[in-house]
Amino acid sequence: MADTSARKGLIAPLLFAFAATGLLVSLGVWQLHRLAWKEALIARIAARSTATPQPMPAAADWPRLKSDDYDYRRIVLRGRFDNAREVLIFRTDGPRDLGPGYLVLTPLVLASGDQVIVNRGYVPSALAAKSTRPNSEVEGEVTVTGLMRPPQPRNLFTPADDPSHGLYFSRDPAPIVAHFGLTRVAPFIVDADKTAIAGGWPEGGLTNINIPNNHMEYALTWFGLAGGLWIVVGSYILRTWQETRAKAKA
């Protein structure tokens, strides 16, 4: 009678263990799928960012572009910087641990009249004002080589832009276009490669292509939790069985 009662008392813990195991294992499998996706993404970024620069997509194709089709694609384009419409994008860290600073974004006017906003690179906070870096404004026709990037998404924690002071907090061409009333502007930006500039600023070539890939560790964690759960359940069942036998002998 005691054995029957003990077995019934194990039903609820076992049902919970089976359900929890199914959930934990499914999370582990999902992380393995994410691992395959992330590895393919990293390979694609590496291939695109190191490829021979290609011509920029024609303006007629811009409305049909999808970010997955062009993100990190290396291109080359020629035009003149519209330095009067330079804006700054705040960032909390800079190269070589230089601390907070800004990305300098400037429209590049192509021979066709179309425009592409170019992220020319980073400047420290002390060099935010143009007057502190007069050599940074490049005049005349230039050739820009860099990586195509989609608009940077915003979230609830992104501060409001301050267009009147040329200060923005997201690499998104839309608010810049709206503030200056620009037309025929690409829906993407181009992160410029590192090039020699008098005075050294802004410093380009800082696009982060090192994408974190911890999905295998996450998968092993979920599988490990599933295994640990059954160690606990097995210990509980063994202890219950031993206690039941001890009572039966008493």
Task: Print burial letters for 60-73: b (CB count within 10 Å at least 16), e (below 16).
Answer: eebeeeeeeebbbb
Summarize pLDDT for 162-189 with one digit per residue, the tens.
998 899 999 999 999 999 999 999 999 9
Contact 227, 57 (CB under 8 A): no
Looking at 92-96, 118-122, 225-229, which range is the least confident one? 92-96
Full DSSP string of the chain: -HHHHHHHHHHHHHHHHHHHHHHHHHHHHHHHHHHHHHHHHHHHHHHHHTSPPEEPPPGGGGGG--HHHHTT-EEEEEEEE-GGG-EEEEES--GGG--SEEEEEEEEE-TTS-EEEEEEEEEEGGG-SGGG-GGG---SEEEEEEEEEPPPP--TTSPPPBGGGTEESS--HHHHHHHHT--SEEEEEEEEPP---TTS-SB-----------HHHHHHHHHHHHHHHHHHHHHHHHHHHHHHHHHHH-
Provide the token pair at 192: 């410029």
- Structure confidence by residue, pLDDT tens digits, 143-167: 999 999 999 988 888 989 999 889 9
State the chain's mean pLDDT as an integer: 89
How high is the pLDDT of residue 192?
A: 95
Q: Do 35 and 215 contact (CB within 8 A), yes or no?
A: yes
Query: In this structure, which amino acid lies at residue 4?
Result: T
Sequence-distant (≥ 6) Cβ neighbours of residue 35 within 8 angstroms: 213, 215, 216, 219
CA angle 161, 162, 168 (to 5 degrees): 50
Return the residue matching tokens 């384009």. 77
Write out pLDDT tens, residues 16-54: 889 999 999 999 999 999 999 999 999 999 999 999 999
Q: Quick one: pLDDT at residue 4?
A: 63
Mean pLDDT of 124-139: 88
The model's pTM is 0.82
- Residue 214, pLDDT > 60, answer yes
**CA distance readout (Å), 112 to 59, 105, 139:** 9, 20, 18
Residue 15 has pLDDT above 90, yes or no: no
